[in-house]
């Protein structure tokens, strides 16, 4: 895919499927739910870069109890729209997580491979608890048995962009979720 002009960019945005207002409403609810589960022990939000950075930024501001943030980077997609099937951890947490309630913040769960590997890795470090919240879930595409604790939106099997999600590193800056135009 190459984007050489604003026309190319706009042509790739097929239609908006989740508006920025719908996203914000769902995040406020999720933040409230997470805040209400607070038991006085430290919460660590772990964002899986790069796709989840926008969701993480909004979700942490919807949480009204003390929480820390950490980042991990896992790559399973390259320049196209199909999974490589290879999950590679390229950035890891700095914290010892054994005294935290860890909440993994993900942009989208597709085949489930990325999250499956990250959950296994972090469980091995014995956090107080471990939950997964994802903005989007595409259950039709699952290749491993994986269910998030919270999914804000469940979508059919098509490739989406915006609100942190990319295609070839573009479109992360769109404030909504759109279907990508494959033509």
Catalytic residues: 110
Nearest to 77 by CA among 102, 50, 101, 58: 50
In the complex with ligand IMP, the residue whose CB is nearer, 37 or 173, is 173
In the complex with ligand IMP, the residue whose CB is nearer, 76 or 95, is 76
Residues 110-149 as x/- pattern, contact with Mg ion by CB under 5 A: ----------------------------------------
Q: How far is the CB of 166 from ligand IMP (least distance, A)?
A: 6
Nearest to 106 by CA among 183, 53, 36: 53
Nearest to 46 by CA among 111, 123, 113: 123
Token output for 165? 């999600």
In the complex with Mg ion, the residue whose CB is nearer, 34 or 105, is 105
In the complex with ligand IMP, the residue whose CB is nearer, 126 or 173, is 173
Residues found near ligand IMP in the complex (CB under 6 A):
51, 76-77, 83, 106-114, 159-160, 165
Residues 48-67 as x/- pattern, contact with Mg ion by CB under 5 A: ---x----------------
Spell out a b/e string for 102-139, using b for 16 or more CB atoms within 10 Å of the CB, else e: bbbbbbbbbbbbbbbbbbeebeeeebeebbbbbbbbbb
Q: How far is the CB of 127 from ligand IMP (least distance, A)?
A: 21
Q: Which residues bind Mg ion (CB under 5 A)?
A: 51, 107
């Amino acid at each position: 895919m190459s984007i050489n002009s604003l026309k190319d960019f706009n042509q790739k945005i097929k239609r908006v499927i989740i508006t920025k207002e719908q996203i914000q409403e769902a995040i406020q609810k999720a933040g409230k739910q997470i805040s209400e589960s607070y038991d006085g022990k430290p919460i660590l939000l772990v964002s899986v870069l790069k796709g989840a950075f926008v969701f993480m930024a909004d979700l942490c501001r919807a949480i009204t109890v003390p929480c820390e943030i950490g980042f991990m980077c896992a790559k399973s997609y390259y320049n196209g729209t199909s999974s490589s099937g290879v999950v590679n951890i390229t950035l890891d947490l700095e914290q010892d997580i054994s005294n935290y309630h860890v909440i993994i913040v993900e942009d989208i769960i597709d085949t489930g491979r990325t999250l499956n590997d990250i959950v296994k890795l972090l469980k091995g470090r014995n956090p107080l608890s471990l939950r997964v919240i994802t903005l989007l879930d595409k259950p039709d595409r699952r290749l491993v048995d994986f269910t998030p604790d919270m999914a804000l939106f469940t979508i059919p099997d098509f490739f989406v962009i915006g609100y942190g999600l990319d295609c070839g590193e573009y479109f992360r800056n769109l404030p909504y979720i759109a279907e990508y135009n494959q033509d």
